[in-house]
Amino acid sequence: MLNLVLFGPPGAGKGTQSQKLIERYKLIHLSTGDLLRAEIAAGTKLGLDAKRYMDCGTLVPDEVVIGMIENKIKSNPEAKGFIFDGFPRTVPQATALDKMCYDNKISISAMISLKVDVAELTKRIVERGKTSGRTDDQDPDLVGERIAEYNNKTAPVSDYYAKKSKAHYIDGMQSIEIVSNEIFKIVDSL
């Protein structure tokens, strides 16, 4: 089984590269952002609670996203593997993912980190906001808050995987195609 953590700040290209990985390796895409937006669209209590955090650009509580991911792993026992996109975003989420993997007899194959500078991230998110319909992409203050949350709470997750020798780093400023090819090279060598 191939289980990849696609890591990086908002706007780094995780969603775009996830689509390329799905096509090539037939993995199941688990994006906590997408799952939360689906809960909001369905008007569930979980969605309404999460929306309060998302509207401020802050992370939703760990137990909410951990529960969602656990459900998805359990409901896809035939999966060839998973792409974790936007999860884990805190060290407690990373340790919870390891426990879930252990309980479900799977393991994380690699963490692939996309590095993009703040000016480029902001430009990409604002551009995406013109068509994504995502309110958190349209407000520059919210974009700044999301990047600050990443720096404060999410960046340490990269060291978590580095210590386990599972971290790979890619220059995410390059074209979509070059980034995809670099990811494929890493995955094919696993």
Q: Tell me which stretch binds ligand AMP (CB under 6 A): 20-28, 31-39, 96-104, 111-119.
A: 31-39
Is 83 one of the binding residues for ligand AMP (CB under 6 A)? no
Q: How far apart are CA 117 and CA 135, in angstroms?
A: 22
Annotated catalytic, 80?
no
Q: How far apart are CA 172 and CA 169, in angstroms?
A: 9
What's the helix, strand, coil split of the chain in %, to 5? 60, 15, 25
Exactly one of 21, 54, 147, 157 binds ligand AMP (CB under 6 A); which one? 54
Q: Which residue is nearest to ligand AMP (CB)?
A: 33
Q: Which of 74, 84, 76 is nearest to 8 (CA)?
A: 84
Residue 22: CB minimum distance to ligand AMP, A: 16
| Backbone φ/ψ region at 7: left (φ over 0), alpha (ψ -120 to 50), beta | beta
Q: Which is nearer to ligand AMP, 58 or 174 (CB)?
A: 58
Binding status of residue 89 toward ligand AMP by CB under 6 A:
yes
The amino acid at residue 15 is: G
> Which residues would be at the binding site for ligand AMP (CB under 6 A)?
10, 32-33, 36, 53-54, 57-60, 65, 86-87, 89, 93, 146
